[in-house]
């Protein structure tokens, strides 16, 4: 069994890079895919299109993500220091909606 220190922990930082957050939240499989998703204009933060992968997201931001013929709307609720399993990723956001 993994020790508590080996698991992903929700951090108390106030901001995190957009591409890093998308990867930690398991929206995409690779951080480069997250950066590409942002650069191509498929991510909005609080309704405004964002094309910079380094843009800082903060708790409470609402992300609208167009991915694989689906639009997901996620509210940022936390950050992780590392990319963890699916259960630790789910605590990073609240699903506000999905449209096909």
pLDDT tops 80 at residue 9 = no
Residue 90, phi then psi, degrees to nearest 5? -65, -20
Q: Give the model's pLDDT for residue 23.
A: 96
Helical (H) or strand (E) element with 37: helix 31-39
Domains in the chain, CATH or no CATH each: 13-99 (3.10.290.10)
pLDDT tops 50 at residue 4 = no
Per mean pLDDT, which range of 4-8, 43-47, 53-57 is the poorest? 4-8
The 8-class DSSP code of residue 35 comes to H
Q: How far lies 15's CA from each of 21, 39, 42, 59, in Å?
A: 9, 19, 20, 7
Q: How far apart are the C-alpha atoms of 63 and 43, rounded to whole Å?
A: 7
Q: Residues 83-98: what's their mean pLDDT? A: 91
| SS3 label, residue 88 | helix
- Residue from 95, 94, 93, 79 nearest 8 by CA: 79
């Amino acid at each position: 069994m993994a020790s508590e220190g080996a698991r992903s922990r929700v951090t108390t930082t106030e901001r995190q890079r957009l591409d890093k957050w998308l990867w930690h939240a398991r929206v995409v499989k690779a951080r480069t895919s997250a950066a590409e998703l942002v650069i191509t204009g498929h991510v909005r933060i609080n309704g405004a299109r964002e094309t910079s992968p380094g843009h800082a997201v903060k708790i409470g931001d609402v992300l609208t993500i167009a991915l694989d013929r689906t639009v997901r709307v996620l509210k940022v609720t936390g950050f992780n220091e590392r990319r963890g399993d699916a259960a630790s990723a789910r605590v990073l956001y609240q699903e506000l909606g999905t449209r096909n």
